[in-house]
A = this chain, B = another copy of it.
Amino acid sequence: MDELKQRILQDGRNLGGGILKVDSFVNHQVDPLLMDACGREFARRFASVGATKVLTAEISGIAPALTTAIHLGLPVVYARKHKPITMPDQVYLTLAPSHTKGRMVELIVSPEYLANGERVLIIDDFLASGQTILGLARLAEASGSRIVGIGALIEKTFEGGRDALKVLNVPIESLARITSMDEEQIVFGEG
């Protein structure tokens, strides 16, 4: 999606070590009109998968998942990393390695909002190693629901996430595919 790629080139920063800083429009400050456009694009690409729910992980998945859900007219659930006091004792819980924290984090979903038979579209900000998305898929499968698609704003193809997700056998869409961040550059691939 050209609008997102242009913005990454203009305002993203390659901090080295494969870390892309997009804090000015995705992760800390959010450009709501760009995010709305990305949500519209995900809704278009996943129009025919028959999703009944959008699933993401807090925190930075919330914005793109919400705008996608607005355009699909579907509820969105964000997996929590800490169990709030309003959540029942019995939950779906899995562990996933956090890229930015250097440790495992919990991903928790209440069985109240992920039901047997649900068709789940996963939306997140980044597709890097794919481990967070695999964690979300485990939560969905534990509930008896089925993943029907995976969308990420930004894919870093050199971290192998797409291969890791192949086992799920669902369409994977990213709006900006970065194939290299070597030598302080940001290089996009096709699609």
- Chain B proximity of A112: nearest CB distance (Å): 7
A100 touches B113 (CB 8 A): no
Contact: A24 with B66, CB < 8 Å? no
- The answer to whether A90 has its CB under 8 Å from any CB of chain B is no
Cβ of A33 within 8 Å of any chain B Cβ, yes or no, is yes
A75-114 CB mask vs B (1 if < 8 Å, else 0) is: 1111010101111000000000000110000000110110
A159 interface hit (Cβ, 8 Å): no
Across the interface, do B32 and A84 meet the contact criterion of CB distance under 8 Å?
no
Let me know if A145 is at the binding interface, CB within 8 A.
no
Q: Which of B62, B100, B101 is close to A59, meaning CB atoms less than 8 Å apart?
A: B62
Cβ of A21 < 8 Å from any Cβ of B? yes
Residues in B with CB closer than 8 Å to A21 are 86
Q: Which residues does chain B contribute within 8 Å of A31, judged by CB atoms?
A: 75
Write the residues of chain A forming the contact surface with B, with a CB cutoff of 8 angstroms: 15, 19, 21, 23-24, 27-33, 35-36, 58-59, 62-63, 66-67, 69-70, 73-78, 80, 82, 84-87, 100-101, 109-110, 112-113
